[in-house]
Structure 1
């Protein structure tokens, strides 16, 4: 007899107390509730008893006291990460899917992640590695780590056994956390991933994949040049993805007016075997791209002395008060459910 995978029992079967349920009203608006016996979901258009949902099958339709119908479904992971409490900005599902696929994160893989943020990408990585793999996550801020743990615990129902979260800087903590050459994949979602290339190279097994998620073109250029200069990585590849939904109404089939445009750039490279140097690049660099010494042109604009901070890169930084409130809410929720 095989045991159920972590969180699988929360993804199937009739609705039960403690389940998160996504309600869709006739106008397509979404409402996420956690089922509790005797509780009610209130809007200005009536009340819906949680007891009407408890024991009902997934994908059911229920009416509130005013006769308004709601479609009730368990939220998918992509739904959950967009509505869960967050401190730091989340990695969008479109990017998380690209990271899992293009980095070839497989069941049983040993993966390193930095930083954790609100845990959105961590949950996708944990789903991919499964219980027989391991995810080593590093986060400088303890409050962000607490929020990520709380969000993951609410989604999986338990603390995932394949997840280790370390508070601290990746460069300082990674060498003492994992053995050299033991890591299959590394995912860096941070301001200055080029500062970590040496320790990542030590941790990665030959052929292992490094994928970085960066917000701006200046960061993308800087990390690409650092990968080339290191000498222990293959030629990097970079791209971005944009998702545009479509309006489907009879013959009025057209692109939606809103779309998920630029969220970030992804850049990948692979670890070469020890002592191996990458083949000489054959293509001719763009004119003016490099100076006489081989360094990137205009490096003073975003070179060694540039200050890469969330504010400088246009990132909206949450206030300490907001982080304390969210941290308290996720920890209190997990304690109550226990």
Structure 2
């Protein structure tokens, strides 16, 4: 055994609970989630429970064989199957946790945290909460001194999200992350009624443009609104609604694609599978009260706002006349 393989003699302290990171160090404990991965990359995620047994097509193993050991080891089942054992990362937890609604994939959650500039201590509003995947990333980014206010219309989604968030952050029974509040209701009505002011607003819903006025009133000057939409029609409607509002900077819209690579000796090539389109992201910054952004110097493409266009229209773009029909 090399010196690099030897474990340090000093015990490893766990991450303090008051950090609310969702990360643990040291020996595996009952109640924690673990992630088992076999030689073919098949994954199993489950919570450790003393006296319980894990079953797969390669046999079984007892949870007690895992509890008390440092993560990063290989375990063999009764049928000779070998599995790597680690605690799941946040990006691994969210794609395997129980779902109510579809989750925001890690690639998009990372873009939201970075491009919406979610910072420690930030006051963030989220609507809707889905299954809690993005909520976990937001809470980790703002920290216990920040605030994440999540709004969800459907009670069944809210309950799934609450369980997932509490599970990830190892919240003591009967409590939750101190920076998190979950409200059952429509953001367009509930946010104005709350009188809450915030630094960032994340809109993950079918019609985010319906909440833009409420978002504009709640955001501080310089704050950011970020929308997560799945289709081009939603993308167009939201961007044009932001432009027509007049109190935001020019919207920035994009998507991200992730492609793994196969690397084996001289066989280096793109993988056959990739995470392609999941959603579009749009961000814009709130102007100070009464202020408007400079007019765009670049004219719209011919026909962009032609007779067939029926959506919101920027205030400085006139209605194009309908071309006469050919006789």
Instruction: Answer yes or no: same fold by TM over 0.5.
Output: yes
SS of match in other structure, 2:259: coil
How many aligned positions are there? Answer: 295
- Contact 1:24/1:72 (<8 A) preserved: yes
- Contact 2:124/2:199 (<8 A) preserved: yes
Name whichever structure is richer in helix by fraction.
Answer: 1
Deviation of the 1:166 alpha carbon: 0.8
> In the aligned structure 1, how far is the partner of 2:22 from the partner of 2:269?
39
- Contact 1:183/1:208 (<8 A) preserved: yes
**Higher-RCO chain (CA-CA 8 Å, sequence separation at least 6):** 1
Per-residue Cα deviation, 1:142-182 (whole angstroms, up to 9, x for no partner): 11100000111111111111111111111100012243xx3
Deviation of the 1:134 alpha carbon: 0.3
SS of match in other structure, 1:256: strand
Written as runs of structure 1 = structure 2, the 5 A alignment for 1:242-257 is 242-257=257-272
Which of 43, 46, 52 is equivalent to 1:39? 52
Per-residue Cα deviation, 1:315-337 (whole angstroms, up to 9, x for no partner): xxxxxxxxxxxxxxxxxxxxxxx
Q: Which residue of 2 aligns with 1:201?
A: 216
Which of 42, 45, 66 is equivalent to 2:79? 66
SS of match in other structure, 1:160: coil
Which of 309, 315, 321 is equivalent to 1:299? 309
Deviation of the 1:55 alpha carbon: 0.7
- Contact 1:10/1:19 (<8 A) preserved: no
Tell which deviates more after alignment, 247-256 or 160-169: 247-256
- Contact 1:6/1:156 (<8 A) preserved: no
Deviation of the 1:112 alpha carbon: 0.5
Which of 109, 113, 119 is equivalent to 1:106? 119
Bigger CA radius of gyration: 2
TM-score, with structure 1 as normaliser = 0.84
Q: Which residue of 1 aligns with 2:226?
A: 211
> In the aligned structure 2, how far is the partner of 1:32 from the partner of 1:185?
33
From the superposition, tell whether residues 233 and 175 of structure 1 become closer, same or farther in structure 2 (CA, over 3 Å): same
> In the aligned structure 2, how far is the partner of 1:251 from the partner of 1:194?
50
> In the aligned structure 2, how far is the partner of 1:106 from the partner of 1:227?
24
Is 1:85 aligned to residue 98 of structure 2? Answer: yes
Q: Which runs of no fewer than 5 residues in structure 1 stay unpaired?
A: 292-296, 305-338
Written as runs of structure 1 = structure 2, the 5 A alignment for 1:307-326 is none
> In the aligned structure 2, how far is the partner of 1:9 from the partner of 1:285?
47
Per-residue Cα deviation, 1:116-164 (whole angstroms, up to 9, x for no partner): 1111111110111110000011110011100000111111111111111
**For the aligned residues, what is the CA RMSD?**
1.7
- Contact 2:20/2:140 (<8 A) preserved: no
